[in-house]
C-alpha cells in the first residue's frame, strides 16, 4: 500500500503542473481518492452455514481499503471536443486476501460536429474490475474485462426535431475458466426520431436490436441454454413538465427476445419505466420511479431477468457544502429461461427490499468527504439464492 500512495503523490504533482502550460486549450483534471468499505456479507451468502460449506468458516464480513488515481482530460479544437478519462485503483481486503485486486478503466471520446445541425460521438472504453457476488456466490477472485465501442450521429432537421442512429459493440470477458460461459459479445443498433420543444416537452420513437453471443459456451451449457439471442425493441420516450417544479418522464418499449433453437426461452412483453421528479422546495427534491424491465443477468442458467418494482429517492441540500441523499425500494425478479429440471420444474423468483443513505460534505471546491450506507434483503424460492447484506463506505476525494 505504501508504494501505491507514493505513486499517487508523484503523479498528482506531475499532473498539477500541466494545466498552466496549455490553459484555454487543454483542461486536465487529475484526482485522487481513498476509501474504507465495510460489508457484513461480502459473498452474498444466504446463511453462515452456506459460507462454512464454501470455505470452512461462517465469517462473512470484511473491511476493504481502496485507493484511486485518475485524470480527466478535455481538448477542445474549434467545435470538436476530445475527452480522455483514465483511472487506476487498488483494493486490499483485511480478511479475504484472495480478493485483493488492481482495477483500471480508460475511455476516449470524440464529440464531433459538422455545421450547426449534424453532430455525434465516437467512443471507445475498456475497464477491468472484480466481478460481483449477487448472482454467483463463490469465494473467488474473478477479474472481468469490459470493452465498448460506440458511434452515433444526429441530425437536427428542424429546431424541434432530431433524427439519430447509433451502433455499439460490447464485449465482456472473465479471466477464470469456471466463468467463461458468461463471456458475452453484443452488437447493438438503434435508430429513431425525437421531438423536443423549448418548454421541455419530449417525444421520441426508436427501434433497437441487440444481438448477443456467448462464444465460450460448449457441451451441456450450450445444448440447454444456447449460445446466442436477439432482443428487439420498439421504444417510446416521453417527458412532460406540468409545472416548473415537476417533470414526468417515461420509457416504454415492446420487447421481443428470441433464442434460435430454444423457443421455450423466448419472451414477448412490455418493458417500461416511469419517473416523477419534483422540487418540494429549493433545497429538497424527490424522485419516484416505477418500472418493469428485461435486463441481462450474470448467471449461466438464466441469461435475462424480468424485474418490476419501485424506488423513492429524496435529496436534501442542507447547506451549500452539505447534502443528504436517501432511497428505498422494492423489486421482484423473474429469471427467464431457467432449466426447470434443475429446480424441481420451478423458475427462479426473487423479492428484494433495498435502502441507501449518503451524506456528502464538500469543504472546498476541489475536495469531497462522503459517508454512504447500502443494504438489501433478498428472498428466493430457490434454496441458497437469497441473502442479506449491509455495506458502509467512507470516502475522501481531492480534485487537483
Residue 396 neighbours by CB under 8 Å, 6+ apart: 33, 34, 35, 367, 368, 369
Query: Would the pLDDT of 6 be above 70?
Result: no
How does pLDDT run across 261-305, given as a tens digit for each residue? Answer: 777 778 888 999 999 999 999 999 999 999 999 887 766 556 678
Longest dimension (CA), the chain: 68
Half-sphere exposure of 196 (CA within 13 A, CB side): 11
Per-residue cell: 32: 485522487
Using alpha carbons, select from 326, 318, 323, 328 the residue that is nearest to residue 370.
323
Query: Would the pLDDT of 219 be above 90?
Result: no
Residue 125 to residues 105, 113, 174, 183, Cα–Cα distance (Å): 7, 21, 17, 17
User: Which range has the worst mean pLDDT, 80-84, 111-115, 276-280, 340-344?
Assistant: 340-344
φ/ψ (deg, to 5) at 316 = -125, 115
Query: Would the pLDDT of 245 be above 70?
Result: yes
Residue 26 neighbours by CB under 8 Å, 6+ apart: 18, 19, 73, 74, 75
Residue 360 to residues 39, 301, 395, Cα–Cα distance (Å): 20, 40, 9
Over residues 104-109, the mean pLDDT reads 97
Query: How confident is the prediction for the chain on average, in pLDDT?
Result: 88
pLDDT of 288: 98
Structural contact between residues 358 and 371, judged by C-beta atoms closer than 8 angstroms: yes
Query: Would the pLDDT of 24 be above 50?
Result: no
Query: Would the pLDDT of 23 be above 80?
Result: no
Over residues 4-8, the mean pLDDT reads 45
* 348, burial (CB in 10 Å: exposed 0-12, middle 13-18, buried 19+): buried
pLDDT of 25: 84
Per-residue cell: 275: 419517473
pLDDT of 101: 95
Residue 36 to residues 94, 285, 364, 371, 375, Cα–Cα distance (Å): 11, 29, 21, 10, 17
Over residues 307-319, the mean pLDDT reads 96
The three-point CA angle 210-214-218 to 5° equals 150
Over residues 72-91, the mean pLDDT reads 95
Confidence bin at 21 (pLDDT 50/70/90) = very low
Conformational region of residue 212, where left means phi above 0, alpha means psi within -120 to 50, and beta covers everything else? beta
How does pLDDT run across 145-197, given as a tens digit for each residue? Answer: 999 999 999 999 999 999 999 999 999 999 998 888 889 999 999 999 999 99
| CA–CA dist 40, 35 (Å, integer) | 17
Percentage of the chain beyond pLDDT 90 is: 67
User: Which range has the worst mean pLDDT, 235-239, 264-268, 313-317?
Assistant: 264-268
pLDDT of 229: 86
Arch. (CATH architecture) of 2-399 = Beta Barrel (2.40)
Query: Would the pLDDT of 37 be above 90?
Result: yes
pLDDT of 258: 87
pLDDT of 16: 44
Query: Would the pLDDT of 10 be above 80?
Result: no
Tell me the residue length of the chain: 400
Quickly list DSSP for 297-319: -S-SS-SEEEEEEEEEEEEEE-S
Confidence bin at 359 (pLDDT 50/70/90) = very high
Where in the chain are the domains? Answer: 2-399
pLDDT of 298: 61
Query: Would the pLDDT of 18 be above 70?
Result: no
φ/ψ (deg, to 5) at 396 = -120, 135
Q: Supply the DSSP symbol for 320.
A: S
Q: Cell numbers 451549500 correspond to what residue? A: 320
Amino acid at each position: 500500500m505504501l508504494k501505491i500512495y507514493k505513486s499517487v503523490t508523484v503523479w498528482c504533482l506531475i499532473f498539477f503542473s500541466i494545466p498552466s502550460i496549455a490553459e484555454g486549450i487543454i483542461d486536465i483534471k487529475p484526482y485522487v481518492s481513498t476509501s474504507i468499505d465495510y460489508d457484513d456479507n461480502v459473498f452474498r451468502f444466504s446463511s453462515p452455514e452456506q459460507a462454512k460449506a464454501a470455505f470452512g468458516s461462517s465469517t462473512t464480513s470484511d473491511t476493504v481499503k481502496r485507493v484511486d488515481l485518475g485524470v480527466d482530460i478535455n481538448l477542445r479544437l474549434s467545435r470538436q471536443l476530445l475527452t480522455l478519462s483514465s483511472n487506476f485503483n487498488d483494493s486490499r481486503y483485511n480478511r479475504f486476501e484472495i480478493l485483493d485486486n488492481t482495477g483500471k478503466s480508460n475511455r476516449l471520446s470524440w464529440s464531433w460536429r459538422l455545421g450547426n445541425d449534424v453532430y455525434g460521438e465516437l467512443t471507445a472504453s475498456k475497464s477491468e474490475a472484480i466481478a460481483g457476488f449477487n448472482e454467483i456466490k463463490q469465494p473467488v477472485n474473478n477479474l472481468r474485462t469490459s470493452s465498448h465501442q460506440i458511434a452515433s450521429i444526429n441530425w437536427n432537421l428542424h429546431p424541434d426535431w432530431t433524427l439519430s442512429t447509433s451502433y455499439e459493440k460490447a464485449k465482456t470477458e472473465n479471466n477464470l475458466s469456471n466463468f467463461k460461459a458468461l463471456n458475452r459479445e453484443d452488437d447493438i443498433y438503434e435508430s429513431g426520431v425525437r421531438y423536443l420543444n423549448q418548454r421541455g416537452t419530449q417525444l421520441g420513437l426508436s427501434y433497437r436490436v441487440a444481438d448477443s453471443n456467448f462464444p465460450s459456451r460448449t457441451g451441456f451449457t450450450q445444448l440447454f441454454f444456447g449460445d446466442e439471442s436477439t432482443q428487439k425493441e420498439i421504444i417510446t420516450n416521453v417527458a412532460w413538465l406540468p409545472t416548473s417544479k415537476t417533470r414526468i418522464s417515461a420509457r416504454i418499449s415492446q420487447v421481443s427476445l428470441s433464442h434460435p433453437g430454444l423457443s421455450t426461452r423466448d419472451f414477448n412483453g412490455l418493458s417500461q419505466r416511469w419517473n416523477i421528479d419534483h422540487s418540494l422546495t429549493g433545497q429538497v427534491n424527490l424522485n419516484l420511479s416505477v418500472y418493469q424491465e428485461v435486463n441481462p443477468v450474470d448467471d449461466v442458467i438464466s441469461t435475462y431477468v424480468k424485474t418490476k418494482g419501485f424506488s423513492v429517492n429524496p435529496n436534501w441540500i442542507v447547506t451549500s457544502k452539505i447534502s443528504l441523499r436517501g432511497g428505498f425500494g422494492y423489486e421482484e425478479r423473474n429469471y427467464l429461461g431457467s432449466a426447470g429440471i434443475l429446480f424441481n420444474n420451478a423458475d427462479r423468483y426473487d423479492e428484494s427490499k433495498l435502502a441507501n443513505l449518503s451524506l456528502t460534505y464538500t469543504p472546498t471546491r476541489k475536495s469531497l468527504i462522503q459517508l454512504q450506507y447500502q443494504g438489501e434483503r433478498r428472498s428466493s424460492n430457490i434454496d441458497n439464492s437469497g441473502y442479506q447484506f449491509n455495506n458502509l463506505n467512507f470516502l475522501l476525494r481531492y480534485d487537483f
